[in-house]
Structure 1
Amino acid sequence: MIRPWDDWDLDMLCARMRLIGFDLDNTLANSKKPMVPAMARRFSELTRRIDVAVITGGRYGLVVSQILDVLDPGADLARLHLMPTSGTCYRRWEHGTWAKVFSHDLDDDQRSRARESLERRAREQGVWFEKVWGERIEDRGSQITLSVLGQQAPLEAKQAFDPTNEVKARLAEAVAADLPDLKVHAGGYTSIDVAQRGIDKAFAVRELARHLGIDVGSIAFVGDRMQPGGNDYPAAQAGAMGVSVRDPSDTMRLIDGLLERLPLPAGITL
């Protein structure tokens, strides 16, 4: 079930959900940027009310700079679940550090073949541009990602690149033909991700449910690309409650509504 955030009955949502997950870029923060202070305050407070997950295609270092580095001191880290690289890695706060629960890393041969195919197919299809913003192919350990315009491309350029997703779909199909043992899918606005087969945001919410002993249907997932073909859509396909937002301002309004309804732990007052 997928609905825009303001079409959800928030009382019903709060009654049903045991965990809320968020996409990162353009959901909690602008692309590659830290959460703004107003979002960081809301997000931190939400961790005191319910388990919160961040499931993003980005690498762990971005989760640190965009989320962890700007949290309020009162955030409950024990209720925070970090799943970078589209859920191929899962970290939790244990004994004062962000310990890996699992990481499905690619081996050296898979990494090499992925990089070769991404560059060759991008050149063949005319999307290996001379001018890009930052790194073009990034090795994230458990995921190899091609960002057609570069990792640091401005949001406006990313959104304008392939609004129908046809270019990314064609490129992903060509790369997938080269790498039948791996999962290839269009990620964000300009990216193609290569990872172990069967691992995407559907895998991530199922693993969260399994590790926490809850039903996937009791997870709400919030993202800006929740339409079919979007990289947040698999979470809803897996059975999570899909909450669609347009940008971080929508997400802040959603969190405000949740904080009005979710109780604080016993003995704690604002």
Structure 2
Amino acid sequence: MSVTHNGKTYQLVMFDLDDTLAPSKTAMSDEMVELFRELLSGSLGCIISGGQYGQFQSQVLDRLGDFPDRANLHLMPTNGTRYIRWNGDAWDTVYAEDLSADQKSRAMAVVEEGARELGLWEEQTWGPILEDRGSQVTFSALGQSAPVDAKAAWDPDGRKKESLRAYAAERLTDLEVRSGGSTSVDITAKGIDKAYGARRLMEILGLDLDDILFFGDRLDEGGNDRPVADLGIDAIAVHGWEDTFAKLGAIVRG
């Protein structure tokens, strides 16, 4: 089982979720669902995202429905700090690298302090700004359920997120702090990021770096997709799900 891109053969195609396979916290489109099923019929696939498992369910699994190739899909929520796969009967958690209570409380305190100090703490939001995802603390400037248009308008050049990421990283030296989605900053245990998830997946599946092709929209310095590319995995930068659809379609459908 494999796909070919630029003359190289890959056994597994790995994806970010928000703004790569679908708009932020939005379900995959009909076109992407069809293409993704085609991919999984002939290759392994993995989704690794800062979102929690509930987002994977609503954005991906509910849209894919029951299909015969579920065992080819590997899920890594919260930036690879969790790994979930189909065991033949249900989606089963293989591992979870949860933060301690102290780490979570410090992360939340620092990121809120930074957001307020930098003028990034919004009063009008759609849901909570800070979220404890077990293995990750996430700051979402406009709340967890903010509409896509509002998110896109809040920080179009990424400077706001980067200023907060830098602020938190300087004060949480024992933790990993990275820019997440369009309005989010993700905090995990030190050394645990998407590269960690990719390495764990390679160990479990017996894959090498050259066996994986990655699609992501945050491959910039400090972005939460960057560690995958820095690990040495071939990466394709995309700008929205439509770009992914076009580039993936060229690979899967020729």
TM-score tier by shorter-chain length is: over 0.9
**2:136 aligned partner:** 143
Q: Does the 8 A contact of 2:71 with 2:88 survive in 1? A: no
**Cα displacement (A) at 1:19:** 0.5
Runs of 5+ unmatched residues, structure 2: none
**Where in structure 1 do 4 or more consecutive aligned residues deviate above 4 Å?**
none
After superposition, the Cα gap between the structure-2 partners of 1:177 and 1:228, relative to the gap in structure 1 and judged at 3 Å, is: closer
Q: Does the 8 A contact of 2:218 with 2:226 survive in 1? A: yes
Q: Does the 8 A contact of 1:205 with 1:219 survive in 2? A: no
Q: Does the 8 A contact of 2:25 with 2:55 survive in 1? A: yes
Matches within 5 A, 1:24-63: 24-63=17-56
Letter in 2 for 1:238: L
**Cα displacement (A) at 1:75:** 4.2
Runs of 5+ unmatched residues, structure 1: 1-9, 262-270
Q: How far apart, CA to CA, are the structure 1 residues paired with 2:112 and 2:219?
A: 28
Q: Structure 1 stretch 116-125 or stretch 151-160: which is displaced more?
A: 151-160
**Cα displacement (A) at 1:197:** 0.6
**1:223 aligned partner:** 216
Answer 1 or 2: higher relative contact order, Cα 8 Å, separation at least 6: 1
**Cα displacement (A) at 1:72:** 4.6
**Cα displacement (A) at 1:193:** 1.1
Q: Does the 8 A contact of 2:178 with 2:223 survive in 1? A: no
Q: Does the 8 A contact of 1:224 with 1:232 survive in 2? A: yes
Q: How far apart, CA to CA, are the structure 1 residues paired with 2:111 and 2:4?
A: 45
Matching of residue 185 in structure 1 with residue 178 in structure 2 = yes
Residue 66 of structure 2 is aligned with which of 56, 73, 83? 73
Matches within 5 A, 1:1-270: 11-13=4-6, 15-260=8-253
TM-score by length of 1: 0.87
Q: How far apart, CA to CA, are the structure 2 residues paired with 1:100 and 1:36?
A: 26
Q: Does the 8 A contact of 1:14 with 1:258 survive in 2? A: no
Q: How far apart, CA to CA, are the structure 2 residues paired with 1:259 and 1:164?
A: 32
Is the partner of 1:57 in helix, strand or coil? coil
Q: How far apart, CA to CA, are the structure 2 residues paired with 1:70 and 1:15?
A: 30
Q: How far apart, CA to CA, are the structure 2 residues paired with 1:39 and 1:57?
A: 20
Letter in 1 for 2:74: H
**1:3 aligned partner:** none
Count of matched residue pairs:
252
Larger Rg: 1
**Cα displacement (A) at 1:100:** 1.3
Q: Does the 8 A contact of 2:126 with 2:144 survive in 1? A: yes
**Cα displacement (A) at 1:253:** 2.2
Q: Does the 8 A contact of 1:218 with 1:241 survive in 2? A: no
Letter in 1 for 2:87: E
